[in-house]
Copies of this chain bind each other. A is one copy, B any other.
Amino acid sequence: MDTRFRGVFPPVVTALTADGQLDEVSFARSINRMIDAGVHGLFVLGSSGEVAFSTDERRREIIEAAVRIVDHRVPLLVGCIDTESKRVIEHAKQAQALGADAIVATAPFYALGGMAEVERHFRLIHEAVDLPLFAYDIPVCVHTKLPAGLLVKLGLDGVLTGVKDSSNDDAGFRFLADANKKAGHPLVLLTGQEVVVDGAYMAGADGSVPGLANVEATGYVRMWNAYEAGDWATVRKEQDFLADLMRIVLVPQGVQGYGSGVGAFKTAMALLGVFDTNQMPEPVLPLKGENVERVAEVLREVGLEPAVSVDAVSASAAVREL
């Protein structure tokens, strides 16, 4: 197992200016805040890093900014998310050229296929780009669940370095961890579920990739340290706190999916003064008004007092009428 990739690796939420450009100042503020909190690495251009919304040019800007800001303090993983192999490989080559320490790719999506294509897809990416490769298991987005047997086989063959599991299939994750252990632990197993990291650690995860760490990283670092020390009572206490905070994604009303999920992250970050705006990528709209207030309320309930007013956040992002 490649031990560089153990620990807390937040998927970095992308900061936008009021008019939708990359906001490098806010982006740096957030990244530095997470590194200062003690995270072990960072993952840009994941699902919550708005990879699907970003043009190739925007993706390049994000990688360049991240490489410059991180400056080798921690390993930087870069999401190379696209429909099929050749498109993914182009992103991967660019990520390598710009300084990524590892790349992350999903199963193919859009076109229908079977596991033979999924396996060949990862082999093609590995063959094309000489960087550690993580499989990103996210069936809610790509509608394919990566089977444990295939993942371990690709780990043993040196194709995959690890797995970023966002499958919300905790039984499957346990079986994967068990199979990985039996095979000599070739894969680094990172869980992408914010509120059940404790269970994933119980199952033997090597780390986590919690989007919520953009709002509050210190809890995830304390949870990891407790896990390393075998202090499960603290693991549980920290997870309870973070699950309580995660309610920010449940409280927005009249908004679904990305708009309430990453929308709530950005809104909380703007309320805490980390981001200058809670702007979202088109066609998603930023949270406004009462939804900002609902997020603020959760922050207050868990003891994170907003530094910026609800009104200011609500006014921070432009929305063009169509």
Contact = CB atoms under 8 A, between A and B. Distances in A.
Given A54-B86, A322-B124, A257 B112 contact: yes
Contacts of A246: 175
User: How many chain copies does the complex carry?
Assistant: 4
A65 interface: no
Interface stretch (A33-41, A278-286, A289-297): A278-286
A52 B257 contact: no
A193 interface: yes
Interface of A: 47, 52-56, 58, 81, 83-87, 90, 108-114, 116-118, 120-121, 123-124, 127, 140-143, 168-171, 173-175, 178, 193-196, 198-200, 202-204, 230, 232-233, 235-236, 239-240, 243-244, 246-247, 250, 255-259, 261, 281-285, 322
Contacts of A141: 110-112
Given A257-B114, A283-B117, A83 B203 contact: no
A283 B122 CA distance: 9
List the 3 closest A-B pairs by CB distance, nearest first. Answer: A199-B199, A112-B257, A232-B232
Contacts of A240: 178, 204
Contacts of A87: 52-55
A84 B81 CA distance: 13
B175 A53 contact: no
9 contacts: A52-B84, A53-B83, A53-B85, A83-B83, A127-B322, A170-B193, A175-B195, A196-B202, A199-B202
